[in-house]
Amino acid sequence: TVMTDGGTSPGLSVSLGRTEIEPNNDSASATALLPNFSGPTVLGRTGLIDPIGDADFFLVEVQPEPGLLAGVFSGTTCPSGRVPFTFRLTLLDQDGTSVLATLEGVVDFSGPVMEIPDPLSPGTYFFKVEAIDGTGGPDRCYDVLFGK
């Protein structure tokens, strides 16, 4: 369990900024996850569900190893504040469309985490983050994290 700025989450700590690059509304325009300040084995980005109906796509280069996790947490560097919202995190295969796993929860500091299915082949995979409660706006800020 790693400490975040507002609680704990098993296996991942919250990233510190490095915002998404818009547009990233599909796998073709996905924003790459970057090394996170918590260590070299965790990648992350800060995102924003704005406007209502927005979906954010991120890409990550995967080397197969057991125990990989992903999660969506309350954003730590949100310029307009942060309001909890219900999210869906979807792991997409290398084709950018085939669903490998999904996770739903409420964005907060100790949100649920997705255990990445083993084994993934080496290559580029995608994460999609969306609000499933019909909300959006400048305060719907989050951090998406991937790693160990």
How far is Cα 54 from Cα 13, in angstroms, rounded to an integer? 25
Strand spans (E) along the chain: 2-3, 8-9, 31-32, 34-36, 39-48, 55-62, 69-74, 86-92, 99-106, 113-115, 123-131, 141-147
User: Which tokens hold the place of 58?
Assistant: 């991120």
Residue 138 has pLDDT above 80, yes or no: yes
Q: How confident is the model at residue 11 (pLDDT cuts 50, 70, 90)?
A: low
Residue 22 has pLDDT above 50, yes or no: yes
Amino acid at 52: I
How far is Cα 30 from Cα 47, in angstroms, rounded to an integer? 12
Residue 35 has pLDDT above 90, yes or no: no
User: Average pLDDT for residues 112-131, to the nearest whole number?
Assistant: 92
Give the closest residue to 106 by CA, choosing from 2, 33, 9, 5.
Answer: 9
User: Average pLDDT for residues 87-114, to the nearest whole number?
Assistant: 93
User: Average pLDDT for residues 124-142, to the nearest whole number?
Assistant: 95
Q: How confident is the model at residue 146 (pLDDT cuts 50, 70, 90)?
A: very high
Average pLDDT along the chain: 84
Per-residue pLDDT at 40 = 61
Per-residue pLDDT at 101 = 96
Per-residue pLDDT at 17 = 53
Query: Is pTM, for the whole model, over 0.95?
Result: no
First-residue to last-residue Cα distance in the chain: 11
